[in-house]
């Protein structure tokens, strides 16, 4: 795929500050980075260091105090509203709708977009994440790992170009965490989507191609050697 075919989120000299009890707290300063479709990224650092804020900026859901966030498609600048349609989220708490079955939770984004074969596509995705036998189960009938698999399927079912994951394994035991991580990376890779994760887990961060590490108000970029991702998705 030529470089111009990829979608990119570019942050240029962004700073983020907020006011707390009349004190200005700076999360990060003059940060410039690029998120490219098809790559994986991890954001690490202690609690309150600004990881989630950076994720929100990247997703175009918040405005930086200073600096610019741009969305480029084939090298051309696109409005940020367009970016919002090309992203999916995976949360630590899964956030599945309790009233809906696994199938309906996954079909939800497609149905809202008016797609005709929503349920058939959702079924395919659930089979991909290994839950073909749990289609009609409601979230409370599923384990944490299974719920996160449903959430991953839901995030990817509408073919977003970027997946933002906030502590995707934070609520899971080590075995489930490893399985979910494997699945997440595999699905994103297979789908050609960028994966941006906020995580406290060094093991999970180590799987990303690039790591943005927050430390004492600074954000450093660490390159990881690309790991081989098993084809679980």
The H-assigned helical ranges of 89-207 are 102-112, 118-128, 144-156, 174-191, 202-207
Note the residue count of the chain: 233
Please give the order of strands across the beta sheet that includes 194-198.
Answer: 87-90, 162-166, 194-198, 40-44, 210-215, 218-223
- Residue closer to another protein by CB (options 107, 186) is 107
Shortest distance in whole angstroms from residue 151 CB to another protein:
10
Stretch that binds another protein, among 33-41, 50-58, 180-188, 218-226 (CB under 8 A): 50-58
- Residue closer to another protein by CB (options 67, 139) is 139
Q: Select the residue interacting with another protein from 36, 86, 146, 179 (CB under 8 A).
A: 86
> Could you tell me the two tokens for 116?
């005709």
Question: How many chain residues interact with another protein (CB under 8 A)?
Answer: 36
Shortest distance in whole angstroms from residue 157 CB to another protein:
9
Name the packing angle between helices 144-156 and 118-128 (round to 10°). Answer: 130
Integer Cα distance of 79 and 100 in angstroms: 33
Q: Select the residue interacting with another protein from 77, 111, 143, 222 (CB under 8 A).
A: 111
Shortest distance in whole angstroms from residue 80 CB to another protein:
12
Dihedrals φ, ψ of 229, to 5°?
-100, 130
Shortest distance in whole angstroms from residue 217 CB to another protein:
21
- Write out the H or E segment, with its range, that includes residue 196: strand 194-198
Q: Select the residue interacting with another protein from 4, 13, 77, 85 (CB under 8 A).
A: 85
Closest among 69, 133, 81, 75 to 103, alpha carbons compared: 133
By CB under 8 A, residue 10 contacts another protein = no
Q: Which residues are near another protein by CB under 8 A? A: 52, 55-56, 59, 61-62, 81, 84-89, 91-93, 95, 97, 99-100, 104, 108-116, 118, 140, 154, 158, 160, 166
């Amino acid at each position: 795929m030529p470089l111009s075919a990829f979608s990119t989120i570019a942050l240029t000299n962004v700073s983020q500050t907020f006011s707390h009890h009349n004190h200005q707290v700076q999360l990060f300063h003059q940060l410039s980075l690029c998120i490219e479709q098809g790559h994986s990224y991890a954001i690490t650092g202690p609690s309150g260091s600004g990881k989630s804020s950076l994720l929100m900026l990247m997703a175009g859901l918040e405005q930086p105090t200073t600096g610019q966030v741009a969305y480029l498609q084939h090298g051309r600048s696109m409005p940020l509203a367009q970016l919002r349609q090309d992203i999916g989220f995976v949360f630590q708490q899964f956030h599945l709708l309790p009233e809906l079955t696994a199938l309906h939770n996954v079909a939800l984004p497609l149905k809202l977009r008016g797609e005709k074969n929503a349920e058939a596509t959702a079924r395919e995705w659930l089979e991909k994440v290994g839950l073909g036998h749990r289609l009609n189960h409601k979230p409370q009938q599923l384990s944490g790992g299974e719920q996160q698999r449903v959430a991953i399927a839901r995030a990817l079912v509408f073919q977003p170009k970027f997946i933002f994951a906030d502590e995707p394994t934070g609520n899971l035991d080590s075995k489930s965490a490893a399985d979910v991580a494997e699945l997440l990376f595999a699905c994103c890779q297979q789908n050609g989507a960028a994966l941006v994760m906020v995580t406290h887990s060094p093991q999970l961060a180590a799987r990303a191609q690039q790591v943005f590490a927050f430390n004492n108000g600074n954000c450093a970029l660490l390159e990881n050697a690309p790991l081989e991702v098993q084809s679980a998705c």
